[in-house]
Structures are given as structure tokens and as C-alpha cells.
Chain A
């Protein structure tokens, strides 16, 4: 209809124009003419209305498009707001990130994320609206009935969300680990058998040693290191007895070194015997009987028990130490002597030391000093001159000595001689140092207590190499070691006289760490102040055994089994590590780090029980992102 109207209007316009031509001729001929005739005006009006109508149509279409876009925009915005408010975006993000998705069909996580998006968006949006939900640049889900490129309007809205990243779980685990050997800790302890002796002229020297192990101890290894001077050139006929808890082990000894002294027709010997099966928790006894036909039988430096056990009990002496050590039973026929060491650590304060000495079957020999140059009872403390003597003892003398004023920092040595007149006269009967005797040393240690979670760790380094005198040994202490608080040389000798220990490190000169105060006063365990040692550097020890005349003896060999030990307090622990998606990975990482930490501290984790193993915290988020969720709507 409107098309027909436009056609008839055009016809009127033509007719009006013809009329205007005629009129114009009239004007030209008569007077000035006018511009529009009525017909022309009518035609013009019609044309203008048509134009206005076209403009209006066009304008309405633009307005409609704007309204459409506005509608899409708010629809997108509101939908995204709903997804965000009810936590669906978080769920979709978590699934998409955990599944490391690129498309919605990569794996179950991706499928679930897409389904979740589909369920919610389909409910929120009208069916004639197309959409695409994107996580970063990945399309999580879309409904595209019409291609986006041909759309008449597109609305895009975005949300940011922290804590997601593709390929990682939204939360993870951190773990730490620590070791404690307190619970049934495996510990190796040495129980020295002090240098002692006197069984002259084929009569016996008897040692009875009590070793008290914790009642809860489970013994995994017990090795007795023997270092004795006895017998003759033959196969030790005078090595008569070696019993551990009544079990005869003398034929089980593996002799590793022997040295013959033709002058006394005796020999020094070093050997080992496995006593594991014979040992038990609680009280243990070691009984040894030796003699020497033409000399005195005795124990050399280097005789000790090494026992590895699991126990709750600690052997560490820290803080206000009250160290009380009972002497072994020493019986010599004739005469008896013993070298009893005790240690005062460097920087110890408030040191007091005392000895309670009881003896039995002591003979009061008249005029012994004038005859032999010795008293019936002699006690030396850190010196070659007498600390105490008794020329007229009763048969069972009891002595109490205050040793505080004569004690020195480091290794102290008490030498006890009863009815023992050296090589000159040998006494005439059995003499006994009673195991009721004891040494008591009290002090306040430089390290007062364990630090937070610390355990004590002892590292033993055997010298190895050839037996020699002097004997040098170099060793390093790892950089990770802290709180070094104890160190000793565990001396093993063939023949022995007067030991001298020098210690130094790469930045210091050799210094005397210990010097036996007199002959045959070389203890098995010699304290060497940890101050001599350099952590993360080279440390050196030189052992020399001097003859009475001052020269080194080629026969007094320091054996390869001599060792140095150092004890430090350490926290074998690692803090929380990185965040892992799985608990097992976090705990494995913690344990591996702990193992590395322990190794450098000289600890084999298989030797100690890990309390609670590893501790982990779950649900630990990471501030990834923020990532972008984008919702595109189009029609």
C-alpha cells in the first residue's frame, strides 16, 4: 500500500512540475513568478514525510540495537554475579585448574567443570542467547547456535579469582620432619676398662668389671676390644679367662696385633671378641684373668666394650653434672695398680672432685720405702710426685681424698699402687682394689641444657693406616655441625708407657692436649677439648708414646684402631617445605630433606627412630593468579 502511495505521489510531483513550468512562463511574460506552487508543496510535503519516516525507521533500529546490547550486558553481568555469589565460579575454577584443562573434554575434571557451568548458565539465560564461559583463554562451556562473528550484539563481562592456576590443586600440603632418638634411641657407648694390672710371676691379675646397661636396653652389638700385656711368646697360655656374664669367650678372641717383648718374655696383644650374645640389659660382668711368668700382667690403653643398644636412657651429662663412677674390682697377686681417669670439660665451672678408695687384703710391709723406694699405698694425681702415701695401712684401708685443688681441665689421672713395688719387689699376697671405691666429679657444664628439640650425636673416626709411633691423623668436621661439646681420643696401644696427645687445626699450631703425668699413666679415653677443632676445616691429632728417658719407642705402637670422637648437640629437623598437591609428596619431600640434613650431621636415620615421622598441614592455598573468568553473551 505504501508503495502505491509513493508512486502516486511521484505522479503528482511530475504534474506539479509541468504546472510550475507553465506558470513560470506566465511569470516571465507577466510579472515576477513565485517559487512553489501548491502542487509542488504538496509533493514536497509528501517527499519530506517519506524521508522523515525513513529516518525514524533507521533511528528505531539503532535504539533497538542499543537496548538489545544493554539487555545482554546486564544479563551477562547478573549471571556472572550469581555464579560468583553462590561459589560456582570457584568450583569451576578449582576443577579446571586441577584438571589442567584446555578443553572441556580433556578429563573428568574438565567435563565436570563444563557440566557445572552448563547447568547453572542454562538456568540463568534465555534460550535465544548464546554464551561462552572462559577460564583465562580456555572455553569451559558454550552454547553457540549462531556464530559469534555474525552476531548483532555481544556483551562481555569478567571476574577475577585468586588462588587458581592450571595444573595445580587449589590447596595443598606442607610438611616438616624431625628426628628424635629419645624413644628407643639406638646409641653406641664405650665402657672403658682402665689401664691396670699386677699379676707377677705367673700369678693372676683379675679384673671384674661391672657394666650397667639400661634395663630397657635391647643390645644389637657388643664388642670387647682387648689390649693386654701378658703371657709369653707362646699362644697366650697365660690368657686364662675371659667371661662375659659367665660365658667363656677367651677362645673367641680375634687377635689383630701382637708384639713380643723378649726382655720380659711377654707380649702385648690387641684383639676383638663379639660378646653380643652374652650381654644383657641391666647388670653385666666381665671377668678376665691373666698372668705373666716373668713380668706383671696388665691391661694396656685400648681395652673397652663398645655396645650398641636401643634404650630410652640418655648418657649425656649436661647442666649441673654429678658424675659418680665406681671402680672395677682389681686383684693382683702380688700387688695391684690402676690408672683411673676422670674428665673436667673445658669451661666447666664449680668443679669439685673427690675419691673414695677402699682396698682389701693389703699387707703392711715394714720399711718398704727404704727397701724399695715405694710405700704400701701410693696415690698420684696428675703428677709424678706423690699425692698420698700410707706406709702402715691396715688390711682393709678406706681413704677419702678431696681432689678439687689438684684437678685440671681435661683428662685427670689418678694412679693407685697398693703393695706394688714395681719391678723390684712384688709383694707376697693378693691385693684388691674394691669396687666399692668411686670417683665423684661435680661441675656445671658449659652447655647447660639441650636446645630446642636437640639430640646428641657422637661421631667416631678411626685412625686406620699403619700402626706407628708417633701416629698422626687428620679429619674434618662438616660445616653443619654446631654446638660441639665433647671430644675424646680412644687410645689403642700395643706396648704403652707415657702418651702425649697434640691437637691443632689448619689455622693453629700443634698444642699439647694431654700428657700422661707419669709412666704407665695412659688412659684409654683421653679428653681433647673441642676448642681445638675447626668446624668445616682440617683438624689434626698426633699421638706419641714416650719412654721414661724421653725418647720415642719403636715398640710402643699406637694401633690403627685408635679413634677420635666428637659429640655435638643438633636439631635433626627440617621446617615446612614447599606446597605439594598431595600429602604423600609433601611428606616424602620432608623426609628426603631430613635425610640430607641428618647425613651431613653424621646421622643415619635408620639408626634412630623418627618420632611422629612427618607433620603436615593440609588445605594450604597459594596466591596464584588472579585468573580471569569471562562470560560472553551474544545474539
Chain B
């Protein structure tokens, strides 16, 4: 019996130990499996996080890409619109009532006064928008991008350059996997994208328009500062090479498309474009006022050229006596000027008005009747 008790007691002890061991095993199993589960979950989340990161980065990159290419596309369409506009003036003798409005319409819709312009077909932001939308879909993005979201505002910003300022308003782009989306304006950091167009090398619409289409002149800017022209050699070279000069009160390229002279009745229009230029530059971080931004350009009229190429019947209304050869003065109503020493001897028609003589740094003592 005693032995049996001892044996039973030993058995109880042994059973309790097993139970503990079993419990420990269960706990260990649970802990180990929990660790494994957590590790697997961590890996899954890390992968998902990377996918988010990559897709959002792609979306951001796509937006940057659009922004950058929109600037390029705007420059291209604006230049094509400017070429077409110049062609209209120099070929048909038709000037624009409002050059900036016309350019805006051409850039966006390839139309002028709501009539499609065949020359600009496939050269507009509308075409670009369609292509970008297709690329967005290919890259797994859905977008509401369409031409109605675009705002364009063209303006001269210097004598030699204009900007087609553009933005996309209310753009939304959604990642098709649902990771990221974008709702807002393009560009994201500023108000406008500036598509810049240099007008150097263009035909001067005003000169051709005023010369009734019989002569042409290409815009080539003079490298010599305007105020350093009190030298007959410099002036003569400018005359012979038909150079253009940046001058504050001269008409800008836009005014030239409108056939305006920037003086007299056209002064208000000149101020309008000065205001637009100053605003554009300020928006772009260049702090200027309308008083210190120059958008105008001018050139010396070659009277001999007019007399050679313009029919005599037409010359009568164009060539008067003692005209200042500054183009926007020459073709305007108040056009008198004085002869300039050492030049008017060779070119008897070369005269300059007092104000522009000052602009070019020509001493009054070098002027004579």
C-alpha cells in the first residue's frame, strides 16, 4: 500500500510536470507563430508602402513632366501663332484689333474670330492636351485634362520677347490603383507657366503694313546700346543693316501687329501692354514698374528704299518732307526731324526728331536744318 501511495504520489507529480511542459510548449508555439505572422505582415506592408511611394512619385513626376512640356508646347504654339499673325499682316495688310486676344485664341483653339485657321491645325494646345491625356492613361492615370481647363494670357515682356502665359485650372488626376490622386492647378508652385517666344528674325509687321506691302524688313536687334549712337559710323551701319533698337516709347511687337505707332491715339494701347508686361514680370518674381520695362522697338526708315519699291502713286501718301526716319514717327502724323551731321550728307533724307536724338545720345549740336 505504502509503495502504492508513493507511486501514486510520484505519478501525480509527474502528471503536473507534464501539464506545465505542455502549457509551455503551447505558449512557445503561439509566440513563435505570432512573431512569424508579424514578420510576414511587416513585409507585406513594406511592399505596399513602396508601391504607394512609387506610384505617388510617378504621379508627381508626371505632373512635373506635364508642366515642363506644357511650357515647351506653349512656346511652340505661340511661335506658330505669331508667325501666322505676322503673315496675315505682311501678306494681306490686315492688322489686328487686339493682338493679345487674337494670339490667345490661336494658341488655344487654332482659330481667329472663331474661324479655324488651317495653318495652325495640329499646332495647338488642344492637340497637345489630347496626346497628354492618352499618355496619362498609358501610365495608369485617369484625368479630366481638356482644353477648357486652360487659361492663356499673351503679353510682351521685353522688346525682343513675348510670353504666352498659361495655366491649367481644376486639373484632377487619379492613379488607377487608388494609391494617389491630384486635384489642383498646373503649375503647382506658381500662377503661370511662361512659354517664351523670341521675335528676333520675324518680319516687322508694322513696317510692311505702313509700306503698303512693297518692302519688307526683318527684325534684327542692334548690339550697340541705344544711348551710344552719337557716332555717324554706328548710325550709318544701323541704317544700312536695318537694325532695330529697344526704345521705351516705341511700339512693341504686339502693337506692330495692330498697326499702332505707340504715340498719339495709340499711347493708351502702349500703356496697356506696358502694364501687362510689368504684371507678368512681377508675377515671375522680377519686380518692375511700367516706367522701367521696355517693350518697344524701332528702326530707321530707308526712304530711298521706299522710293525705289513703292509705286509713285502710293508714295505720295507715305513720304513727306523732312520726316524723322524713326519708323513710328515717320509713319505718324507728327513726323518732322532734323538732319544729322555726317549722315544726312550721304543720305539727304536722314533726319531725326529732337526726342529721339536724345534717346540715341546724339548731341543737339549735331543736328541741323
Give the contacting residue for A160; candidates B11, B43, B65, B212; CB below 8 A.
Answer: B65
- Could you tell me if B36 and A45 are in contact, using CB atoms closer than 8 angstroms? no
Q: Which residue of B lies closest to A90 (CB)?
A: B72
- Could you tell me if B314 and A449 are in contact, using CB atoms closer than 8 angstroms? yes
- Could you tell me if B21 and A622 are in contact, using CB atoms closer than 8 angstroms? no
The stretch that binds B, out of A50-58, A242-250, A263-271, A403-411, is A50-58
Q: Which residue of A lies closest to B198 (CB)?
A: A619
With a CB–CB cut-off of 8 A, which chain B residues contact A183? 308-309
- Could you tell me if A157 and B68 are in contact, using CB atoms closer than 8 angstroms? no
- Could you tell me if A623 and B135 are in contact, using CB atoms closer than 8 angstroms? no
- Could you tell me if B36 and A51 are in contact, using CB atoms closer than 8 angstroms? yes
Within 8 A of B (CB), among A1-59: 23, 26-27, 30-38, 40-41, 44-45, 48-49, 51-52, 55-56, 59
The stretch that binds B, out of A356-364, A382-390, A509-517, A571-579, is A571-579
With a CB–CB cut-off of 8 A, which chain B residues contact A159? 65
- Could you tell me if A617 and B128 are in contact, using CB atoms closer than 8 angstroms? no
A597 to B132, CA, bound (A): 40
Known interface pairs A49-B32, A611-B214, A623-B76. Does A41 touch B21 (Cβ–Cβ under 8 Å)?
yes
The answer to whether A618 has its CB under 8 Å from any CB of chain B is yes
- Could you tell me if A626 and B21 are in contact, using CB atoms closer than 8 angstroms? no
- Could you tell me if B28 and A576 are in contact, using CB atoms closer than 8 angstroms? no
Give the contacting residue for B212; candidates A51, A163, A450, A573; CB below 8 A.
Answer: A450
A318 to B317, CA, bound (A): 13
- Could you tell me if A621 and B309 are in contact, using CB atoms closer than 8 angstroms? no
A599 to B36, CA, bound (A): 90
With a CB–CB cut-off of 8 A, which chain B residues contact A166? none
The answer to whether B77 has its CB under 8 Å from any CB of chain A is yes
Give the contacting residue for A453; candidates B58, B93, B124, B128; CB below 8 A.
Answer: B93
- Could you tell me if B39 and A59 are in contact, using CB atoms closer than 8 angstroms? yes
- Could you tell me if A35 and B22 are in contact, using CB atoms closer than 8 angstroms? yes
- Could you tell me if B28 and A41 are in contact, using CB atoms closer than 8 angstroms? yes
* Shortest distance from the beta carbon of A530 to any chain B beta carbon, whole Å: 19
- Could you tell me if A180 and B128 are in contact, using CB atoms closer than 8 angstroms? no
The answer to whether B184 has its CB under 8 Å from any CB of chain A is no
Known interface pairs A34-B22, A44-B25. Does A623 touch B214 (Cβ–Cβ under 8 Å)?
no
- Could you tell me if B46 and A66 are in contact, using CB atoms closer than 8 angstroms? yes
The answer to whether A455 has its CB under 8 Å from any CB of chain B is yes
- Could you tell me if B213 and A576 are in contact, using CB atoms closer than 8 angstroms? no
Q: Which residue of B lies closest to A621 (CB)?
A: B76
- Could you tell me if A63 and B29 are in contact, using CB atoms closer than 8 angstroms? no
What 1/0 mask marks residues of chain B from 43 to 71 whose CB sits below 8 Å from any chain A CB? Answer: 10011001001100110010011101100
With a CB–CB cut-off of 8 A, which chain A residues contact B308? 182-183, 312
- Could you tell me if A55 and B39 are in contact, using CB atoms closer than 8 angstroms? yes
Give the contacting residue for A617; candidates B83, B91, B309; CB below 8 A.
Answer: B83
Known interface pairs A182-B308, A617-B202. Does A626 touch B128 (Cβ–Cβ under 8 Å)?
yes
The answer to whether A122 has its CB under 8 Å from any CB of chain B is no
* Shortest distance from the beta carbon of B82 to any chain A beta carbon, whole Å: 9
What 1/0 mask marks residues of chain B from 104 to 135 whose CB sits below 8 Å from any chain A CB? Answer: 00000000000000010011100110011001
- Could you tell me if B84 and A623 are in contact, using CB atoms closer than 8 angstroms? no
With a CB–CB cut-off of 8 A, which chain B residues contact A23? 14, 18
With a CB–CB cut-off of 8 A, which chain A residues contact B76? 162-163, 621-623
The answer to whether A563 has its CB under 8 Å from any CB of chain B is no
A51 to B218, CA, bound (A): 82
- Could you tell me if B32 and A176 are in contact, using CB atoms closer than 8 angstroms? no
Known interface pairs A319-B313, A452-B213. Does A162 touch B22 (Cβ–Cβ under 8 Å)?
no
- Could you tell me if B11 and A30 are in contact, using CB atoms closer than 8 angstroms? yes
- Could you tell me if B42 and A59 are in contact, using CB atoms closer than 8 angstroms? yes
- Could you tell me if B40 and A59 are in contact, using CB atoms closer than 8 angstroms? yes
A72 to B72, CA, bound (A): 29
The answer to whether B310 has its CB under 8 Å from any CB of chain A is yes
The answer to whether A158 has its CB under 8 Å from any CB of chain B is yes
What 1/0 mask marks residues of chain A from 151 to 170 whose CB sits below 8 Å from any chain B CB? Answer: 00000011111110000000
Size bracket, chain A contacts: 35 or more
With a CB–CB cut-off of 8 A, which chain A residues contact B119? 576
The answer to whether A262 has its CB under 8 Å from any CB of chain B is no
Known interface pairs A41-B25, A183-B309, A619-B201. Does A160 touch B135 (Cβ–Cβ under 8 Å)?
yes
- Could you tell me if A452 and B92 are in contact, using CB atoms closer than 8 angstroms? yes
The answer to whether A194 has its CB under 8 Å from any CB of chain B is no
A313 to B310, CA, bound (A): 11
The answer to whether A375 has its CB under 8 Å from any CB of chain B is no
A486 to B223, CA, bound (A): 50
With a CB–CB cut-off of 8 A, which chain A residues contact B22? 34-36, 41
What 1/0 mask marks residues of chain A from 601 to 631 whose CB sits below 8 Å from any chain B CB? Answer: 0000000000110010111111101101000
- Could you tell me if B18 and A33 are in contact, using CB atoms closer than 8 angstroms? yes
With a CB–CB cut-off of 8 A, which chain B residues contact A45? 25, 28
Determine the main DSSP class of B at the interface with A: helix
Which of B25, B42, B83 has its CB near the most chain A CB atoms (within 10 A)?
Answer: B25
Give the contacting residue for A162; candidates B61, B128, B202; CB below 8 A.
Answer: B128
With a CB–CB cut-off of 8 A, which chain A residues contact B201? 617-619
The answer to whether B312 has its CB under 8 Å from any CB of chain A is yes
Within 8 A of B (CB), among A426-483: 449-455
The answer to whether B266 has its CB under 8 Å from any CB of chain A is no
The answer to whether B185 has its CB under 8 Å from any CB of chain A is no
* Shortest distance from the beta carbon of B137 to any chain A beta carbon, whole Å: 13
- Could you tell me if A620 and B79 are in contact, using CB atoms closer than 8 angstroms? yes
Q: Which residue of A lies closest to B94 (CB)?
A: A452
With a CB–CB cut-off of 8 A, which chain A residues contact B188? none
- Could you tell me if B57 and A77 are in contact, using CB atoms closer than 8 angstroms? yes
* Shortest distance from the beta carbon of A586 to any chain B beta carbon, whole Å: 12
With a CB–CB cut-off of 8 A, which chain B residues contact A316? 311, 313
With a CB–CB cut-off of 8 A, which chain A residues contact B313? 314, 316, 318-319, 449-450
- Could you tell me if A31 and B15 are in contact, using CB atoms closer than 8 angstroms? yes
With a CB–CB cut-off of 8 A, which chain A residues contact B84? 576
* Shortest distance from the beta carbon of B171 to any chain A beta carbon, whole Å: 16
* Shortest distance from the beta carbon of A621 to any chain B beta carbon, whole Å: 4
- Could you tell me if A162 and B311 are in contact, using CB atoms closer than 8 angstroms? no
A74 to B56, CA, bound (A): 12
The answer to whether A62 has its CB under 8 Å from any CB of chain B is yes
A79 to B119, CA, bound (A): 38
Give the contacting residue for B32; candidates A48, A62, A77, A157; CB below 8 A.
Answer: A48
* Shortest distance from the beta carbon of A466 to any chain B beta carbon, whole Å: 41
* Shortest distance from the beta carbon of A60 to any chain B beta carbon, whole Å: 9
With a CB–CB cut-off of 8 A, which chain B residues contact A74? 57
The answer to whether B263 has its CB under 8 Å from any CB of chain A is no
With a CB–CB cut-off of 8 A, which chain B residues contact A52? 32, 35-36
The answer to whether B73 has its CB under 8 Å from any CB of chain A is yes
The answer to whether A70 has its CB under 8 Å from any CB of chain B is yes
With a CB–CB cut-off of 8 A, which chain A residues contact B122? 623
- Could you tell me if B216 and A182 are in contact, using CB atoms closer than 8 angstroms? no
What 1/0 mask marks residues of chain B from 125 to 149 whose CB sits below 8 Å from any chain A CB? Answer: 0011001100100010000000000
* Shortest distance from the beta carbon of B157 to any chain A beta carbon, whole Å: 18
Known interface pairs A34-B15, A182-B309, A576-B83. Does A63 touch B46 (Cβ–Cβ under 8 Å)?
yes
With a CB–CB cut-off of 8 A, which chain B residues contact A34? 15, 17-19, 21-22
Task: Point out residues on A near B: beta carbons under 8 Å.
Answer: 23, 26-27, 30-38, 40-41, 44-45, 48-49, 51-52, 55-56, 59, 62-63, 66, 69-70, 73-74, 77, 81, 84, 157-163, 174, 176, 178, 180, 182-183, 312-314, 316, 318-319, 449-455, 571, 573-576, 611-612, 615, 617-623, 625-626, 628
13 contacts between A and B (CB under 8 A): A34-B21, A48-B32, A51-B32, A62-B47, A84-B68, A161-B69, A176-B87, A182-B214, A312-B312, A453-B93, A453-B212, A617-B201, A623-B122
Task: Point out residues on B near A: beta carbons under 8 Å.
Answer: 11-12, 14-15, 17-19, 21-22, 24-25, 28-29, 32, 35-36, 39-40, 42-43, 46-47, 50, 53-54, 57-58, 61, 64-66, 68-69, 72-73, 75-77, 79-80, 83-84, 86-87, 90-93, 119, 122-124, 127-128, 131-132, 135, 139, 198, 201-203, 212-216, 218, 308-314
Given contacts A575-B91, A576-B86, A612-B215, 15 further A-B contacts (CB under 8 A): A23-B14, A23-B18, A26-B11, A36-B21, A41-B28, A81-B64, A157-B61, A160-B69, A160-B135, A449-B313, A452-B92, A576-B83, A611-B214, A611-B215, A621-B75
